[in-house]
């Protein structure tokens, strides 16, 4: 691929924000005394800064024109041949929200000892090798499904990569809503629920919060959307039918909000929308995929080369990632 013009989105580290920019007295004091809550902050910052230098040097050597953008509020407007992120998965998620399907994204984990980098193709010490592979076309490209979220019929986000969290504004309060899952053929199931909220998202987020809440890890190439109810309340003598599930092409998840104060968090806690009683939230597969370079893991967290390729082993492997069996009433037709 061409490396003509490259945007580099750089994470603002906690040390930079709290100490160098805000001059936070408490944080500075804790660092000075070696407090365990901040013990790794300076080291992670130093690793990060060294990685930034490594990335910029590699891009210069490969002849790329580079625009450096710092912080989550940076805007990516000019067409680029490649967008890179330096940080962890949070930085890559932030960049993904700014990109359409035609711009590839490559993540660099700047502090592997302190940062999760599931989506990152490179890490400190391996940047030039990864960029060279991107330039000569030998690096793996993967198109990831994203999710569209609408509030009362208005699109609030068309590029959710990890997940949406729908819940009460207070984490200590019960979330109340009516959940409807509609298949592509129009058949639907509906259930009124009380819980701690719901995780809804595409396959890319299935190894994170969805999995922790009881969902299934999906192959990264899956086009399905998964929903997982958090800590559902089950009345005595009753059984909930819609606690975990998958919807394929044309499927829609609809939430009718019964709370006066609810929140919809999209890919983290920065992008948040308010919802009140009577609001309707719908989620479905987006028409905008995301191209990520260098992903080497399948949906179960192992390397692609270790994944079963064909025959009985492949069928058994895929059976582990399909929708969990659930008892449900006869479907209605909309």
Tens of pLDDT along 18-73? 999 999 999 999 999 999 999 999 999 999 999 999 999 999 999 999 999 998 88
Alpha-carbon distances, residue 153 vs 107, 157, 280 (angstroms): 33, 12, 8
Helices (H), the chain: 14-15, 25-32, 41-61, 89-96, 127-136, 209-212, 311-319
What's the confidence (pLDDT) of residue 332?
A: 62
Can you tell me the distance from the alpha carbon of 177 to that of 156, in angstroms, rounded to the nearest whole number?
Answer: 20
N-term to C-term CA, the chain: 47
- Can you say how many angstroms the Cα of residue 264 is from the centroid of all Cα atoms in its chain? 14
pLDDT tens digits along 196-239: 999 999 999 998 899 999 999 999 999 999 999 999 999 888 99
User: Is the predicted pLDDT of residue 184 greater than 50, yes or no?
Assistant: yes
**What are 122's strand-pairing partners?**
108
What domains can be seen in the chain, in order of their start residue?
5-139 (3.40.50.10330), 147-288+320-333 (2.60.200.30)
pLDDT tens digits along 94-103: 999 999 999 9
**What are 66's strand-pairing partners?**
6
Burial 103-128 (b: 16+ CB within 10 A, else e): bbbbbbbbbeebbebbbbbbbbeebb
Region 149-178: mean pLDDT is: 97
Read off the DSSP letter of residue 18. Answer: I
- Can you say how many angstroms the Cα of residue 76 is from the centroid of all Cα atoms in its chain? 19
Can you tell me the distance from the alpha carbon of 38 to that of 28, in angstroms, rounded to the nearest whole number?
Answer: 9
Secondary structure (3-state) at 1: coil
Can you tell me the distance from the alpha carbon of 91 to that of 85, in angstroms, rounded to the nearest whole number?
Answer: 6
Q: pTM for the complete prediction?
A: 0.85
Secondary structure (3-state) at 92: helix
pLDDT tens digits along 259-310: 999 999 999 898 999 999 999 999 999 999 999 999 876 433 333 333 333 3
Can you tell me the distance from the alpha carbon of 95 to that of 27, in angstroms, rounded to the nearest whole number?
Answer: 28
pLDDT band at 333 (very low <50, low <70, confident <90, very high): low
Can you tell me the distance from the alpha carbon of 226 to that of 180, in angstroms, rounded to the nearest whole number?
Answer: 13
Pairing of strands 82-87, 5-10: parallel
Can you tell me the distance from the alpha carbon of 62 to that of 44, in angstroms, rounded to the nearest whole number?
Answer: 27
Can you tell me the distance from the alpha carbon of 175 to that of 182, in angstroms, rounded to the nearest whole number?
Answer: 21
Read off the DSSP letter of residue 20. Answer: I
Cα dihedral 123, 129, 132, 137 sign? negative
Residue 34 burial class via C-beta count within 10 angstroms: exposed 0-12, middle 13-18, buried 19 and up: exposed
DSSP readout, 31-56? HHTT-TTSTTHHHHHHHHHHHHHHHH
């Amino acid at each position: 691929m061409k490396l003509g013009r490259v945007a580099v989105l750089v994470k603002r580290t906690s040390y930079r924000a709290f100490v160098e920019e805000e001059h936070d007295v408490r944080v500075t004091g804790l660092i000075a005394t070696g407090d365990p809550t901040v013990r790794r902050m300076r080291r992670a910052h130093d690793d990060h800064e060294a990685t930034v230098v490594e990335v910029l040097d590699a891009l210069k050597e490969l002849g790329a024109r580079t625009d450096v953008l710092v912080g989550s509020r940076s805007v990516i407007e000019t067409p680029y041949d490649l967008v890179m992120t330096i940080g962890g998965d949070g930085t890559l998620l932030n960049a993904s929200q700014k990109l359409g399907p035609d711009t590839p994204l490559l993540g660099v984990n700047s502090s592997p000892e302190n940062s999760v980098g599931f989506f990152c193709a490179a890490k400190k010490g391996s940047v030039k090798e990864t960029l060279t592979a991107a330039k000569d076309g030998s690096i793996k490209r993967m198109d990831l499904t994203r999710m569209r979220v609408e509030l009362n019929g208005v699109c609030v986000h068309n590029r959710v990569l990890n997940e949406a969290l729908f819940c009460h504004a207070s984490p200590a309060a019960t979330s109340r809503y009516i959940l409807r899952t509609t298949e592509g053929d129009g058949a639907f199931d509906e259930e009124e629920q009380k819980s701690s909220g719901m995780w809804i998202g595409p396959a890319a987020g299935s190894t994170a919060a969805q999995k922790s809440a009881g969902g299934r890890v999906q192959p990264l190439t899956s086009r399905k959307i998964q929903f997982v109810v958090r800590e559902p309340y089950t009345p005595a003598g009753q059984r909930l039918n819609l606690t975990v599930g998958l919807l394929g092409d044309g499927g829609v998840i609809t939430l009718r909000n019964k709370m006066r104060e609810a929140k919809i968090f999209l890919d983290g806690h920065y992008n948040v929308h308010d919802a009140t009683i009577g609001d309707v939230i719908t989620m479905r597969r987006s028409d905008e995929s995301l191209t990520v370079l260098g992903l080497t893991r399948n949906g179960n967290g192992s390397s692609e080369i270790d994944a079963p390729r064909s025959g009985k082993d492949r069928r058994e492997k895929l059976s582990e990632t399909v929708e969990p069996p659930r008892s449900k009433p006869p479907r209605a037709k909309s």
